[in-house]
Structure 1
Amino acid sequence: MIDEEGKGGDLTKNTTDIGRKLSEHLNPGMEDALNARYGHLLPGMAEGVVDFAYGRQYARPGLGLRDRYLGTIAALTALGGQTMPQLKVNIAGGRKAGLSQEEIAEVIWQMALYGGFPAAINALNAALEVFGEEDS
């Protein structure tokens, strides 16, 4: 699990339980929403996302959670506009992990070099939506 410094801990524990605790903290209701939307088509998909993405990736030791979110936001930005829903979720998670609005904007803008200006501008628009929701 994530320690006080935002770094992952012992992954010999049940990664699904670790992932579920972390995902509920960062994105409350995500597993239920995925299950409601896709569970009839892909049973176990929601639990798989929680286990792999949160329990096995975000909870890993060696890199702080906020830094993992910087990398995730950068990658989703460079991939372009088709990642908008995931980008919003990860920007919100990054804010909960301690990223400032300025840090998020800067990592997005850095990706203009790699994903292009349209991708960066689309990601900045996603960030503005998330920041606006925080303010309301």
Structure 2
Amino acid sequence: MGEALDRGRDFLQSIDPELEKILGERYDELVPEFSESLVETIYGRVYSRPGLDIKTRLISTIAALTAQGAQTSPQLRINIKNALNVGVTKQEICEVIFQMSLYGGMPAMINALNTAKDVFAELGD
């Protein structure tokens, strides 16, 4: 295993320990080693970089996914859960989503708020 894959796996242990397994079960049959590639690239090379704390990275990710629109709802759902796991508040998540109405439009913001609302309900918040 490479250094970045190890970093990615270590990183995921703190925010979403089941994610690699879930991705592997869903996609590795279609694209061999997909889950490892994603963990290595996203979490081992990008999210674990110095310079930004994890809360800021997740808030930035939520903002970007919101601005991209409804097609990112599955990824938005995962990142909202992970943000909550590291201490980002529901209010902070909702405010960053609302802020994106200026950049992604009202429909994108409303779709993201609906996703957030669903995640909050699933988690009993």
TM-score, normalised via structure 2 length: 0.94
Q: Is the 8 A contact 1:19 1:59 kept in 2?
A: yes
Instruction: Give SS of 2:52's match.
Output: coil
Using the alignment, how far apart are the partners of 1:99 and 1:38 within structure 2?
Answer: 29
Q: Is residue 78–residue 114 contact of structure 1 (8 Å, CA) maintained in 2?
A: yes
Q: How does the TM-score come out when normalised to structure 1? A: 0.86
List aligned pairs for 1:106-125, cutoff 5 A.
106-125=95-114
Give the aligned partner of residue 75 of structure 1: 64
Structure 2 gaps of 5+ residues are none
Structure 1 runs of 4+ with >2 Å offset: none
Deviation readout 1:58-78 (Å, 9 max, x if unpaired) = 110000100001100000000
Match of 2:89 among 96, 100, 106: 100
Aligned partners of 1:24 and 1:30 also within 8 Å: no
Tell me whether 1:39 sits opposite 2:58 in the alignment. no
Deviation of 1:14 after TM superposition, in Å, equals 1.2
- Report the Cα offset of residue 28 of structure 1: 2.6
Q: How many residues align?
A: 124
RMSD: 1.3
SS of the residue 1:60 aligns to: coil
| Structure 1: runs of 5 or more not aligned | 1-12
Q: What corresponds to 1:134 in structure 2?
A: 123
Matched, 1:14 2:3: yes
Give SS of 2:118's match.
helix
